[in-house]
Structure 1
Amino acid sequence: MKKHIPNLLTSLNLYSGCIACVMAFQGEYFWVVFFIILSAIFDFFDGFAARWLKAYSPIGKELDSLADMVSFGVAPSLMVFNYLSRYAADLTPLTVINPYIPYIAFILAVFSALRLAKFNVDERQTTSFIGLNTPSNALFWISFIYGIQGSEVLSPTIMGYLIIALIFVFSFLMIAEIPMFSLKTKGFGIKGNELRYLLIVFIVAATILLGILGITLGVLFYIAISIFSSVIKTDK
């Protein structure tokens, strides 16, 4: 019975991701955020359960990637698509192409698939990541889009250009040869987990101060300290 627990958690990840997709189609951003975060929780604990119960399986590995593709690839892409669609008419003077611009959002889904496929065959990524992992990418997008909705800091047109630029940047980060640490750990002591605890403290503090945009900053901080840590190790 226990060997099925990790796959059950992975299936719940997928189920939550499917609901997030429906919510994205309907423009219900709060529920997109809720269900993708729920998917991330299931994604964390399916791996934890597999290690704790020693219930590894080839099916579990493939199921995990398929679930992540929906929850952290398709669902956030749909959210970005929905947001860009609201302002597509004003993005460029070329009214003929404006309705098609929101489809750029699905580049994120394509590169999420490439990222997951690469992860499955890359034996270097057993305890850490090379490139931005898909849950972090998804958390960036859902917190960013939810956080900026209704914001008047930037015009919708400028925000649209910024989002399109970020789509290409984050797509590149998912397949880039950049070492990034994993939050998965074998113990809870300070030694060896310094970066993990630093990241957690930063996200908690940023979220208290800025609300959901604190998660956005947390992902950017995660990328920054991963790159900085990698450069330090290379120089030694």
Structure 2
Amino acid sequence: MKQLPNILTLCNLFCGALAIICILHAPEYRAEINGTDYTIITPEPVYWASALVVLAGIFDFFDGMVARLLGVSGPMGKELDSLADVVTFGVVPGMMLYRLLRSAYFQQPDVFDVSIINLAPALLVPCFAAYRLAKFNIDTRQSENFIGVPTPAVALLVASFPLILLFNPFNLAHWFQNIWVLYITIAVLCYLMIAEIPMISLKFKTKRLADNWTRFLLIGLTILSIPFLKFAAVPFIFICYVILSVAVPPKIAN
């Protein structure tokens, strides 16, 4: 039983590794354009990878809870959790954004002039996620709430993008085929992960409503928005989360 939290963490990592395979698994075909042969990779959305990120988030939520219930929290589990998170909630969303950028560039008339430099900004997400996770491990102020947006929140947000492209709620899909929207999204997410902004966590230390009303509000908004907004509920909740954390900053330990 003592290894159960670590097993859950490894399930998180397994989902992340499998999500990477899904992202990389795209059919290629040969095409002749103006007498020149090209190898083209179909820029299809990575729906299965999105589902795996959600499943990994569930494992990530329960591994810490189980460790506290069993009284087996320790440095080993903390380090293992960060190693798993940097893959699942850092590398995976970075690769998703890479593929989304590639798909967006396929809409451009000069698609074959696009270089790796145009797509490389997506890889800043795993870099900033790794920095944020390393900082979290040594920052004693984040025992109850967070400083900067946690990596699972960023990963779940990015994981919603392919699903919004697929189901196109409220005709939002075209926004995720715009290269500048994607570049701005990457810059904002990288900043939020390392910003010195107190952020609400869903850890309930007491049962008092006065201490947890922001958490209950977020949970309520999530439950109410999903039936109406569908997958667009994820960006909506993310924005509400950031705004509420800035408007009502949670207490941070000294």
> TM-score, with normalisation over the residues of structure 2?
0.83
Question: Considering only aligned residues, what root-mean-square deviation do their CA atoms show, in Å?
Answer: 2.5
In the TM superposition, what whole-angstrom CA distance separates every residue of 1:38-64 from its partner, at most 9, and x where no partner exists? 111110101101111110121111000
User: Which whole-Å CA distance do the structure 2 matches of 1:138 and 1:153 have between them?
Assistant: 19
Is 1:79 the counterpart of 2:96? The answer is yes
In structure 1, the residue matched to 2:247 is 228
Amino acid paired to 1:57:
G
Is 1:39 the counterpart of 2:38? The answer is no
> TM-score, with normalisation over the residues of structure 1?
0.89
In structure 1, the residue matched to 2:229 is 210
In structure 1, the residue matched to 2:153 is 136
**What does 1:118-137 align with in structure 2 at a 5 Å threshold?**
118-137=135-154
Please, which runs of 5 or more residues in structure 1 have no aligned partner? none
Is 1:146 the counterpart of 2:182? The answer is no
Deviates more, 1:140-149 or 1:51-60: 140-149
Please, which runs of 5 or more residues in structure 2 have no aligned partner? 26-43
User: Which whole-Å CA distance do the structure 2 matches of 1:155 and 1:42 have between them?
Assistant: 32
Deviates more, 1:205-214 or 1:124-133: 205-214
User: Which whole-Å CA distance do the structure 2 matches of 1:211 and 1:188 have between them?
Assistant: 31
User: Which whole-Å CA distance do the structure 2 matches of 1:157 and 1:204 have between them?
Assistant: 25
Amino acid paired to 2:178:
M
In structure 2, the residue matched to 1:178 is 197
Deviates more, 1:83-92 or 1:28-37: 83-92
Tell me if structure 2 keeps the 8 A contact 1:139–1:219. Answer: no
Pair 153,138 (structure 1): closer, same or farther in 2 beyond 3 Å: closer
In structure 2, the residue matched to 1:5 is 4
In structure 1, the residue matched to 2:33 is none
Tell me if structure 1 keeps the 8 A contact 2:105–2:114. Answer: no
In the TM superposition, what whole-angstrom CA distance separates every residue of 1:68-93 from its partner, at most 9, and x where no partner exists? 01110111111111121123245586
Pair 74,220 (structure 1): closer, same or farther in 2 beyond 3 Å: same
Of 156, 162, 178, the match for 1:159: 178
Is 1:107 the counterpart of 2:106? The answer is no
User: Which whole-Å CA distance do the structure 1 matches of 2:172 and 2:149 have between them?
Assistant: 28
Of 35, 54, 59, the match for 2:76: 59
Pair 39,94 (structure 1): closer, same or farther in 2 beyond 3 Å: closer
| Identity between Structure 1 and Structure 2 (%) | 35
User: Which whole-Å CA distance do the structure 1 matches of 2:105 and 2:9 have between them?
Assistant: 36
User: Which whole-Å CA distance do the structure 1 matches of 2:65 and 2:176 have between them?
Assistant: 43
User: Which whole-Å CA distance do the structure 2 matches of 1:72 and 1:157 have between them?
Assistant: 20
* Cα shift at 1:189: 5.4
User: Which whole-Å CA distance do the structure 1 matches of 2:60 and 2:172 have between them?
Assistant: 34
Amino acid paired to 1:197:
F
User: Which whole-Å CA distance do the structure 2 matches of 1:157 and 1:16 have between them?
Assistant: 24
Is 1:190 the counterpart of 2:233? The answer is no
Q: Secondary structure at the match of 2:199?
A: strand
Tell me if structure 1 keeps the 8 A contact 2:165–2:173. Answer: no
User: Which whole-Å CA distance do the structure 1 matches of 2:164 and 2:111 have between them?
Assistant: 29
User: Which whole-Å CA distance do the structure 2 matches of 1:201 and 1:186 have between them?
Assistant: 19
